[in-house]
Structure 1
């Protein structure tokens, strides 16, 4: 196995381990809420004027799929929709008090998990962080370009 394959498999392995470790506590603390719903709440909480299009782009999902999720969030009273006076066509979302509470639980869990893993990151030098971040950014930009190519290839004229 070459280094390129080792890096890809290493990233995948780390991600799978993080999910495996975090999942039971997440599911217990966020009972009744699907992962996709919680991550939509997180996005809406962090991004002003969130709408279906922004959510779909962020999660690489269709607008239809996001519409189904936001409909459930509206029904659960975790988000509310609003419009801007200057743009009555576009519908935006913001968190309700209950949505804020769920988002806080989610944030607190992530802080707890970062604390658990802190000892690893304390051993990483500034230069190592810079190198890792540079690679991640470069790879992410490459994937963004590939996604754009795919979108252009599948869009009808």
Structure 2
């Protein structure tokens, strides 16, 4: 196995282990909510003036899929829609009080997992972080270009 394969396999293994380790606690604490719903709540809380287009771009989902997801979240009382006085055409989303509770549970879990894994990150030097971030950025830009080449704009379907 060459280094490229080792890196990709390593990323996949890391991701799968994180998902497995965090899964039970996430499911127990956020019972009744799908991961896509929780991540949508997280995005809305962290990004002002979230709308269907921004959510679709962030999650690499179609606007139609995001519309269904936000409709469910509105029905569950977790988010609400609003319009700005200067732009009556665009619809934005914000969390309700109930949505903020779910957001906080999710944040607390992430903080707990971060504490669990802190020992590893404390040993990483700034140069090592910079190297990893540079690689991730370069790979992300490459994948964005490949997506664009396909002529399939996931963000606008």
TM-score by length of 1: 0.94
RMSD of Structure 2 on Structure 1 (CA): 1.3
Q: CA deviation at 1:153?
A: 7.9
Detail structure 1 runs of 4+ shifted over 6 Å in the superposition: none
The answer to which of 33-42 and 144-153 deviates more is: 144-153
Give unmatched runs, 5+ long, in structure 2: none
| Residue of structure 1 in register with 2:146 after alignment | 146
Unaligned runs of 5+ in 1: none
More displaced stretch, 82-91 vs 27-36: 82-91
Counterparts of 1:99-138 in structure 2, within 5 Å, are: 99-138=99-138
Count how many residue pairs are aligned between Structure 1 and Structure 2: 154
User: Whole-Å Cα distance in 1 between the matches of residues 83 and 92 of structure 2?
Assistant: 6
Q: Is structure 2 residue 86 aligned with structure 1 residue 67?
A: no
- Larger mean CA deviation between 55-64 and 145-154 belongs to 145-154
The TM-score with structure 2 as length reference comes to: 0.94
Structure 2 Cα separation of the partners of residues 66 and 46 of structure 1: 17
Question: Structure 1 pair 117/153, CA: closer, same or farther in 2 (3 Å)?
Answer: closer
1:48, 1:153 → 2: CA distance?
24
Equivalent runs, 1:78-89 vs 2, <5 Å: 78-89=78-89
